[in-house]
Amino acid sequence: MLNVQCSIFSNFATDMDNYRTIASPAQAKIVVKKSTFLGFIHPVSNELEAQELIRSYRKQYYDARHVCYAYRTENIEKFSDNGEPSGTAGRPMLSVLANADINNALMIVVRYFGGILLGTPGLIAAYREASTSALQAATVVERTREQQAVIEFDYSAMNSVMKMLKERSIRVVSQQTDMRCTLTISAPVSVMETALPQLAKITSVTLS
């Protein structure tokens, strides 16, 4: 039984543009009353990537009693107890990420049962400790959350468009030239929120 739970959370980052995540995967191991808990944490860019990693771990650790997970990405929180009593695995793991304000990250804890029942308090403590140990083994970094947009315009508007992009330090990711010029641009979310309406006011500019 998967016991998957999901919620939407509004505080994706400490502010609109910046968020805390981890630089690279890390892992840790703890043993509690003969049960072995392997904690893994990965940076992920979206929910699809998280789900692919979860499938990979469940395939790799097919012989484990439980492969539980929790992740926060794209304003989504999701976790699974994977057969453990409800609320004893995924939620404590998620709380480790949330309390550290870690986003765009996946936590996985693999449990090999040692033959001794831990009880609800013991399971919660063990999954929390395994997750905390994995996070402590990782390097926490701050990233900038960017937004991309595609703009099209006549060549007569090129000077006005490029002047505005330069003034706001908006990057041009790609450019296509045909009957009209098409630019893919990228900048921090707060910059784009103010710049896009201004760009739309330039004659011939369309946003997509």
Residues 6+ apart with CB under 8 A from 95: 128
Q: Are 129 and 198 contained in the same domain?
A: no
Q: Are 37 and 121 contained in the same domain?
A: yes
Averaged pLDDT for residues 144-166: 92
> pLDDT, tens digit, for every residue of 13-72?
336 788 999 999 999 999 999 999 999 999 999 999 999 999 999 999 999 999 999 999
Residue 99's domain spans which residues?
Answer: 4-143
Q: Are 135 and 186 contained in the same domain?
A: no
Q: Are 110 and 179 contained in the same domain?
A: no
Least reliable range by pLDDT among 59-63, 176-180, 192-196? 176-180
Q: Express as a percent the part of the chain with pLDDT over 70.
A: 93
Residue 175 banded pLDDT, cuts 50, 70, 90: very high
Residue 12 banded pLDDT, cuts 50, 70, 90: very low
Q: Are 149 and 123 contained in the same domain?
A: no
Give Cα 4 to chain centroid, integer Å: 17
Residues 6+ apart with CB under 8 A from 46: 73, 74
Q: Are 162 and 133 contained in the same domain?
A: no
Q: Are 135 and 151 contained in the same domain?
A: no
Q: Are 102 and 197 contained in the same domain?
A: no
Mean pLDDT of the chain, nearest integer: 91
Q: Are 135 and 60 contained in the same domain?
A: yes
Q: Say what angle helices 158-167 and 189-200 make with each other, to 10 degrees.
A: 160
Final residue belonging to a domain, choices 123, 143, 163:
143
Q: Are 135 and 85 contained in the same domain?
A: yes
How many domains does the structure of the chain reveal? 2
The pLDDT of residue 81 is above 60: yes
pLDDT at 66: 96
Query: What is the widest separation between alpha-carbon atoms in the chain?
Result: 75
Final residue belonging to a domain, choices 99, 119, 143:
143
Q: Are 152 and 120 contained in the same domain?
A: no
Q: Are 14 and 68 contained in the same domain?
A: yes
Residue 168 sits in a domain whose CATH number is 3.30.70.260
